[in-house]
Amino acid sequence: MKKITTAAWLLATTTFMLATALHAETPADKPAKTVHGEYKDWLTLSVSHRLDKHLVRSVLGNDIAIKAARAGKTKPWPDGTIFAKVGWKERTHPNWPQAVVPGEFAGAEAMVKDSKKFAETGGWGFGHWEGDKLVMNDKEKSATCFACHTPMKDNDYVYTVPVLQ
């Protein structure tokens, strides 16, 4: 009888511990899993924190972008360059509220360099990822992207200064 009680107690304790552990793994403050595009294998050029929209971002580059950044050949960036600006809503770390860390995924935008194809918009095509698919924006939407990147004309329309190459 005693054995059974001990076994039952052990089972109850284990179940409780497991439930607690499972709960710790799925709290509301943990960002949901997201399908990302090929940029998840790219290297970091820089990060940014947008104060007005409460977003944190990582700006990543494909191989061509990283090579150009390392060689300092970014004016202009070579054809074939692709940037990904990947954003998350900001949140404070649940165990360390002084730290701002990524929360819910907010989206991934792209700039693709092809000086012939996108000649009208400074050689840059503007797009975004839908799941793991890169979708280029239509002309109208690209024009609004390009307009806001125009102040950076002398920097090949690019805001990001590579800090990790």
Going residue by residue from 16 to 45, which x/- string records binding to ligand HEC, judged by CB under 6 A? ------------------------------
Q: In the set 50, 75, 93, 133, which binds ligand HEC (CB under 6 A)?
A: 50
Distance of CA 26 to the CA centre of its chain: 21
Q: What is the dihedral of CA 134, 138, 139, 141, to 10 degrees?
A: -90
Query: Nearest-CA neighbor of 105 among 131, 123, 126, 139?
Result: 131
Binding footprint of ligand HEC, residue count (CB under 6 A): 20
Q: Is 124 in the site for ligand HEC (CB under 6 A)?
A: no
- Which residues, 87 to 106, sit near ligand HEC by CB under 6 A? none
Dihedral sign of CA atoms 34, 35, 41, 46 in order: negative
DSSP state of 22: H
Cβ count near 37 (within 10 Å)? 20
Q: Please state the closest distance from residue 68 (CB atom) to ligand HEC, in A.
A: 13
Going residue by residue from 128 to 147, which x/- string records binding to ligand HEC, judged by CB under 6 A? x--------x---x--xx--
Q: Which positions touch ligand HEC (CB under 6 A)?
A: 48, 50, 57, 59, 83, 85, 109-111, 126, 128, 137, 141, 144-145, 148-149, 158-160
